[in-house]
Amino acid sequence: MAELAGLLRVTPGGLTRIVDRTVERGWIQRDRPPGNRREVHAVLTSAGREVLRAARPHYAAVLHEAIAGPFEDADLTALLGLSQKLLDRLHPRAAHCR
């Protein structure tokens, strides 16, 4: 959960409130690994996967309109390359997993 709070750029308390609301909606559940009571994982439920699946086309359309709409294909290719460089720098461990 601490890692997720960092990735989302929210405080641990803010993440707890977000998680509480999504647990109430049945979209995620908390999971504690055996043998480590301090660690908590947020696990997507089947209902959460369905909400995500339904939201994906709308999210993609908004992103396309806001980001991709004003650019030519060459601009988007350059933007993708720059974005990947930024991501690799922010999360160097993930860069070797691609």
Mean pLDDT confidence for 1-29: 91
SS3 for 7-29 is: HHCCCHHHHHHHHHHHHHCCCEE
- Token pair, residue 11, equals 């405080």
Has residue 95 got a pLDDT over 60?
no
> Which pLDDT does position 20 carry in this prediction?
95
Pick the CATH number of 2-70 from 3.30.70.100, 1.10.10.60, 3.40.50.620, 1.10.10.10: 1.10.10.10
Predicted confidence (pLDDT) per residue in 23-82, tens digit: 999 999 999 888 887 888 889 999 999 999 999 999 999 988 888 888 888 998 998 999
Predicted confidence (pLDDT) per residue in 79-94, tens digit: 899 999 999 998 877 6
Cβ(44)–Cβ(27) below 8 Å:
yes
Given the structure tokens 């909606």, which residue do they identify? 25
Domain boundaries, the chain: 2-70
Q: Which residues contact 19 (CB under 8 A, 6 or more apart)?
A: 1, 28, 30, 42
Distance CA 63, CA 41 (A): 28
Kindly report the pTM of this predicted structure.
0.60
